[in-house]
A and B are shown apart, each in its own frame.
Chain A
Amino acid sequence: MRSLQEKRELLYVIRTLDVLISSGVGLEAALHTIGKGGYGVISTDFQNMMERLTSGKTRGLSDELKSLQKKAESKGYQRLLNTLYTNVTQNTDLVDTLKKQGARMEEERTEEVEKYIETLGGVPESLLSIGMIGPIILSIVGLVPQIMSGDLGAFMSLPEASTMNLVVNVGLVGTLLAMFFIGLKAHTKDPGL
């Protein structure tokens, strides 16, 4: 979930940092601006980091960025934090790197959406196969004690009606679970637009 929230906000954070830093704002002030809000989980992270920095409870911005990298779940966010860390420790060209990262993030997002659409291509078929074949078979199984009652049932040595009902109920719950897990793909693979 956190990874999805990070992905959703990251490109906007990169663009804002790009605008701020290219117009001459220092890195700490830029991080403070992001931390003021509007960028979800990344704003919260930066706000906590700036609070710790201003209270003097930390050894410096580089250490904070390093520890935030461990908390980050998406690769893009980890990359951004690494870029900021490298800028703090080695004075790299941050604006240029942010522009490249922004472009790369956009490419990745496009690829992820296309992949998502492709991945979900098979979901309706799988969902409908399981969701339709299961109940059709189970409804016939459930009706067997009614249809084959009396001598025919005794001849075929059919199980008790309660056993058949149990089989149907378990089967229906199983079908629902299978449908749920097939549909879960729509959530887990979400590119976070």
Chain B
Amino acid sequence: MIIRILESFNDSPMMLYILIVAIACIGGGIPPMLERRRRREIENQLPGFLEALSDSVGAGRGLQEAMMEQAESSPGLLTTILKETLREAHSSSFEAMLASFAAKTRSTQVQRVMVLIDTALEQDAPLQPILSDLSRDYERLNDLMNLREVELQGRGILIILFVSIGLPVLIAFIVGLFAPASKGYQITEFNSTFALFFAVASVIGVGVTGRMLGRLKDMLWWLPLWMVLSMALYLGAVKAVGG
């Protein structure tokens, strides 16, 4: 059945080429999505973690001791990674442990915070106000990032759905009803022009959505899939309606 469906698109080789690229790109598109989810989970926990550290340091604990306590008592991915790093860092220095922890999180926010804490430790700066300021800074930053995500995600999905799915199906119905191939209308060239148009329109739609959400690079992996989906929907619907 799959072969039969694919064979019905034999007169659109471009679509079949893009389909192969799209299947290959799915493998590249899933890891950034999972990684992003993991990173955002860590980053959303960072302000709370810093605030807890600030309180512990303010109560007279050392930073290392405060971190160990947090690793034991707080739930979440950030503290799990910290616990793991502390367990592995028996014989290394505290600075090396901070660097290793930052690298393991793979988050720019955590890396920046760890660099700043390391600098503060080197310079003997008062840690409590620094940690407290950092906590507030990153809380505001994450709030803004989450706000952007929540507000713009719906609009992005709307653009992709309409441009890549709604529009090709709508035009295919118009073409299939007014000029059905079964009645001898010569629309092969017309169809290939429009299929190409929908592929490029999908590129623009997905690109704009990716840029709106601030993750264009991650979305690029899904571009061929949306291109091929819009082309297949158009060509398939024209065939289904017009014969």
Q: Are A186 and B211 in contact (CB under 8 A)?
A: yes
User: How many B residues touch A, CB cutoff 8 Å?
Assistant: 52
**Besides A23-B123, A140-B174, 18 other A-B contacts (C-beta < 8 A):** A20-B125, A106-B140, A116-B148, A120-B212, A124-B155, A131-B205, A135-B167, A136-B170, A136-B171, A136-B174, A142-B190, A142-B193, A146-B186, A168-B190, A169-B193, A172-B194, A176-B201, A183-B205
> Is B204's CB under 8 angstroms from A193's CB?
no
B163 and A11: CB pair below 8 A?
Answer: no
B residues 125-148 in Cβ contact with A at 8 Å: 125-126, 130, 133-134, 137, 140-141, 144-145, 147-148
Known contacts A109-B144, A193-B148; is-contact A146 B212 (Cβ 8 Å)? no
Q: Does B106 have its Cβ within 8 Å of any Cβ on chain A?
A: no
The reply on B119 being an interface residue by CB < 8 A is: yes
Decide: B170 and A19 in contact? CB cutoff 8 A. Answer: no
CB neighbours of A25 from chain B (8 A): 123
B166 cross-chain contacts in A, Cβ below 8 A: 132
Q: What 0/1 pattern do residues 151 to 176 of B give for CB contact below 8 A with A?
A: 11001001100110011001100110
Over the window 151-187 of chain A, the binary record of Cβ atoms lying under 8 Å from chain B Cβ atoms (1 yes, 0 no) is 0000000000000010011001001100110110011
A window 1-57: CB within 8 A of B: 11-12, 15-16, 19-20, 22-25, 33, 38
Within the complex, the shortest CB–CB distance from A53 to chain B, in Å, comes to 21
B200 within 8 A of A: yes
- Do A24 and B123 touch (CB < 8 A)? yes
B residues near A (Cβ < 8 Å) are 111-112, 115-116, 119-120, 123-126, 130, 133-134, 137, 140-141, 144-145, 147-148, 151-152, 155, 158-159, 162-163, 166-167, 170-171, 174-175, 178-179, 185-187, 189-190, 193-194, 197, 200-201, 204-205, 207-208, 211-212, 214
> Once the chains are docked, how many angstroms separate the CA of A116 from the CA of B144?
11
Shortest Cβ distance from A96 into chain B, in angstroms? Answer: 14
Residues of A contacting B145 in the complex (Cβ-Cβ under 8 angstroms): 193
Q: Does A58 reach chain B (CB closer than 8 Å)?
A: no
A142 to B125, CA, bound (A): 72
Q: How far is the CB of A148 from chain B (nearest CB, A)?
A: 11
B197 contacts A23, C-beta separation under 8 Å: no
Between A and B, 6 residue pairs with Cβ closer than 8 Å are A113-B147, A113-B148, A124-B158, A128-B163, A135-B201, A172-B193
Say yes or no: B208 contacts A183, CB within 8 Å. Answer: yes
- A67 contacts chain B at the CB level, 8 A cutoff: no
Q: How far is the CB of B213 from chain A (nearest CB, A)?
A: 9
Give B167's nearest chain A residue, CB to CB. Answer: A132
- Closest residue of chain A to B133 (Cβ to Cβ) is A15
Q: What bracket does the count of chain A residues touching chain B fall in?
A: 35 or more
A123 at the interface (CB under 8 A from B): yes
CB distance from B145 to the nearest CB of A (A): 6
Q: Closest approach, in angstroms, between the C-beta of A143 and any C-beta of chain B? A: 5
Query: Quick check: B162 and A135 within 8 Å, CB to CB?
Result: no
Q: Within the assembled complex, what's the spacing in Å between the Cα atoms of A61 and B228?
A: 57
Which residues of the partner chain B approach A109 to less than 8 Å between Cβ atoms?
144
Are B158 and A179 touching (Cβ within 8 A)?
no
Nearest to A169 among chain B residues (CB) is B193
**B residues in contact with A132, CB < 8 Å:** 162, 166-167, 170
Task: List chain B residues, Cβ under 8 A from A23.
Answer: 120, 123-126
Q: B148 contacts A139, CB within 8 Å?
A: no
Task: State the CA gap A171–B6 with chains docked (Å).
Answer: 30
CB-CB under 8 A for A186 and B212, given A139-B194, A143-B175:
yes
**A179–B207 CA distance with the chains assembled, in angstroms:** 11
A168 to B147, CA, bound (A): 41
Q: How far is the CA of A106 from the CA of B134 in the complex (A)?
A: 12
In the complex, the answer to whether A147 meets B214 with C-beta atoms within 8 Å is no
Asked if A72 is an interface residue, CB under 8 A from chain B, the answer is no
Partner of B112, one of A12, A136, A169: A12
Contact residue among B130, B179, B193, B200 (Cβ-Cβ distance under 8 Å from A146): B179
